[in-house]
Amino acid sequence: MVGIISFLAFTCIVAFIAYQATRTTNENSSDGYFLGGRSLGAVVIAGSLLLTNLSTEQIVGLNGQAFSEGILVMVWETLAAIAMVVTAIWLLPRYLKGGISTIPQYLEDRYDKVTKAMVSGLFLSGYVVVLLPIVLYSGAVAFTAMFELPELLGISKTASIWICVWSIGIIGSIYAIFGGLKAVAVSDMINAIGLLIGGLLIPIFGLSLVGDGNIIEGINTLTTDHPEMFNAIGSSTSTVPFATIFTGMMLVQLFYWGTNQAIIQRALGARNLAEGQKGLLLASFIKILGPLIVVLPGIIAFHLFAGNIENADDAYPTLVREVLPAPLMGFFAAVIFGAILSSFNSTLNSSVTLFGLDIYKEFINQEADEKTVVRNGKKFGIILAILAMIIAPFIAYASDTLFGYLQEVNGCYSIPILTIIVVGFLTKYVPAKAAKIGLISGVVLYCISQFAIKRYFEFEALEQAALNGITDEDMLANIKSAAYPHFLHVMAFLFVLNSIIMLVIGRLYPRATAFEQQYTEQVAIEPWKFVKPAGVVICLIVVLIYVIFS
């Protein structure tokens, strides 16, 4: 009962504060609803960035990978810090100079309206088919396992997943659709504080259990009994081989933190460039500590439960259930619930933004006033949320590794979009025709590579292994992973290939005039004077971490 009361109390307090924070914002205007009135400060931006990213697909999925492979999967966290530094120094000044509300709006300025519509369509497709359903499904898995809902409610695990998906989806939709970006960002900031506290409690209690009450002894036990789990380099058959840091990993991170509308929209809502840069760098510094929350618990779970857990994605919920004192369970449930809502409602809010500004206003009703645009964006958000809630429970049949599935499928739209943005920034004469061809070829070639050619090579390799009498599951898994280049290497190759295609087209059919970005003066773009020194320090810390764990 205490757990339920604390859960409801914390959740209601967050909702009340978010409501109060939005009362003075004009939610009927585009800037007010979609960008929080361009009034967000550094702390709010940092908190919202972190919690939008750090949801259950990260906490559950990445700890699941750590349970299987150890600390090497921290690359998803540590490289993120460097990508955020690049975004703060290089990308954000250009975005704010143009006064854009969405990434596709920049692409309209750089290329044309059709390119903008294509990119908005790719974003929306990726959100409704991949990201939103995975956020809902991973959240449902966490709650089902942590609180043993099937036993508690007397229902099947599948029924519990459906109930959780729709409960989270409905509440998240209320935040995102009816509250706007400021409600999302303020609630994110509060929940981020709770998540940092609650997330750090799990490894603390876990290490205490491993070390019989002594945290330091717990660390010694883990490093002594499982030294292989603390090797950041890994092997060529790892899910994230070390070589991918120098190929597709950095590209994925740059797309996510620098061009993904669901993420960068927080920084676009900054009151000025300096606040946006400080917010990004504060978030990047905290991100370096991310492995304590999303990697270390997985290793602790491996020590405690290896051999007793069939699905690696159950490792984190099981650890929470075993080590967290009962009085704190309600608080942690509220924090996890807030993290789930954050990723869901942030992505949904960005979807509403993309549809309202880039599709409805541009192609459906060009004469619509801002209130009409916001209203129709909300209607679209409701439809999108329902579709995501329908799709989410079926993610269970898509892949054994939740986080790996998310990253691989995201490549269908992430690399093509990143390619045309980078080429657009670095050149002045590459035409819109090149961007359209680059988008189409990027999507088509990646899909053919990962969902046709790769499957063929894996099938052939497993067939040959069967003929050779190999039946060991670990050996078969290694054979399968070695049959085709890692998807991050494929992303890097296609990024280079599509960039070359665009540059060749630009050489043959250049723009009539050079592109020059105009300063709209919507916000001050004077940079933070310490942005570069702070960025260098953060990058050096990341390098030092790899030196220590290599």
195-222 pLDDT per residue, tens: 778 888 999 999 999 999 899 999 999 9
- In 3-state terms the chain splits into helix, strand, coil percentages (rounded to 5) of 80, 0, 20
Q: What is the pLDDT of residue 358?
A: 78
Q: What is the pLDDT of residue 304?
A: 92
- Nearest Cα neighbor of 63 from 308, 298, 319 is 298
- Give residue 180's Cα distance to chain centre: 20
Distances (CA, A) of 250 to 76, 254, 258, 422, 495: 9, 6, 11, 13, 12
Q: CA-to-CA distance for 145 and 114, rounded, in angstroms?
A: 45
Q: CA-to-CA distance for 84 and 104, rounded, in angstroms?
A: 20
Six-digit token pair at 190? 């509060």
Per domain, the residue ranges of the chain are 2-12+26-406
Contact between 497 and 251 under an 8 Å Cβ cutoff? The reply is no
CATH number for the 2-12+26-406 domain, one of 2.40.50.100, 1.10.10.10, 3.20.20.60, 1.20.1730.10? 1.20.1730.10
Residues 92-131 have pLDDT tens digits of: 988 888 777 778 888 888 999 889 888 888 888 888 877 7
Q: What is the pLDDT of residue 534?
A: 95
Q: What is the pLDDT of residue 206?
A: 93
Burial of 113 (0-12, 13-18, 19+ CB in 10 A): middle
Q: CA-to-CA distance for 477 and 486, rounded, in angstroms?
A: 14
Q: What is the pLDDT of residue 143?
A: 79
- Please provide the size of the chain in residues: 550
Q: CA-to-CA distance for 507 and 495, rounded, in angstroms?
A: 18
Six-digit token pair at 442? 């990027």
Residues of the chain with pLDDT under 70: 1-11, 13-39, 56, 175-189, 192, 236, 397-406
Q: What is the pLDDT of residue 59?
A: 83
Contact between 66 and 404 under an 8 Å Cβ cutoff? The reply is no
Q: What is the pLDDT of residue 312?
A: 81
pTM of the model: 0.81
Q: Considering Cα of 534, then 536, then 538, then 544, what sign does the dihedral take? A: negative
Distances (CA, A) of 275 to 39, 43, 44, 46, 186: 10, 9, 10, 10, 16
Residue 524, beta-bridge partner list:
272
Contact between 423 and 438 under an 8 Å Cβ cutoff? The reply is yes
Q: CA-to-CA distance for 290 and 301, rounded, in angstroms?
A: 17
Q: What is the pLDDT of residue 27?
A: 47
